[in-house]
Copies of this chain bind each other. A is one copy, B any other.
């Protein structure tokens, strides 16, 4: 009886283990949804009614950080969504890498709040850049590793030949590159991030250009 695998850890196909596959996705979606919603906690309720206009207007860096992080998490969720639509098999390793990725997503509300509250300080910008850079790097590795181990539909092998064509890698590199920039000017670093996001919306993310 022990020869069977009652709590099997090996590769399972999405079709045969539908509920289990759905759970991975449901759990990930839950974490994404909660992390994106917790961003609202980074907005501070003004402590007194005196000059409420002013108190709220003064919070504009918090609002900007909110919008930036909402776009970042939303974008990462779309990419996660798109990638998992290519996944045909899963195993413990995919689940662990996915958890690592989610662990970095969950930090974003924290680094966003620090960024909003101390927007002019390079420490805050560096913390934020490191968080988003690492998240993109972990996400890219998740994709790369799954393709390499044959857990996806055919057609994504190009990412093994040339990982730099995967936009998540590019995003990670640019966020890491913005760390030294933030030491000189946080404003330039922040503009850089917005540029990545806007270019990401304009281009096809994670797809090779037609040959």
Contact = CB atoms under 8 A, between A and B. Distances in A.
Interface of A: 1-9, 17, 19-27, 29-41, 43, 45-46, 49, 52-53, 56, 67, 70, 74, 77-78, 81-86, 92, 95-96, 99, 102-103, 106-107, 109-110, 113-114, 117-118, 121, 123-124, 127, 152-158, 201, 204-208, 210-211
B7 A82 contact: yes
A85 B123 contact: no
B25 A23 contact: yes
7 closest residue pairs by CB, A with B: A30-B33, A6-B155, A34-B37, A74-B99, A6-B156, A4-B155, A52-B123
Contacts of A123: 52-53, 56
Copies assembled? 4
Contacts of A41: 38
B29 A106 contact: no
A1 B158 contact: yes
Contacts of A49: 117-118, 121
Given A53-B123, A74-B103, A37 B38 contact: yes
A40 B109 contact: yes
Contacts of A84: 23
Contact of A52 (B7, B35, B124, B210): B124
Given A77-B27, A96-B201, A106 B37 contact: yes
29 contacts: A1-B155, A1-B157, A2-B210, A5-B155, A5-B207, A6-B156, A6-B158, A6-B207, A7-B82, A7-B85, A9-B207, A20-B85, A23-B25, A27-B33, A27-B77, A29-B30, A31-B36, A31-B37, A36-B102, A37-B38, A40-B107, A40-B109, A43-B110, A45-B113, A45-B114, A52-B124, A70-B103, A74-B103, A78-B92
A69 B193 CA distance: 30
Contacts of A82: 7-9
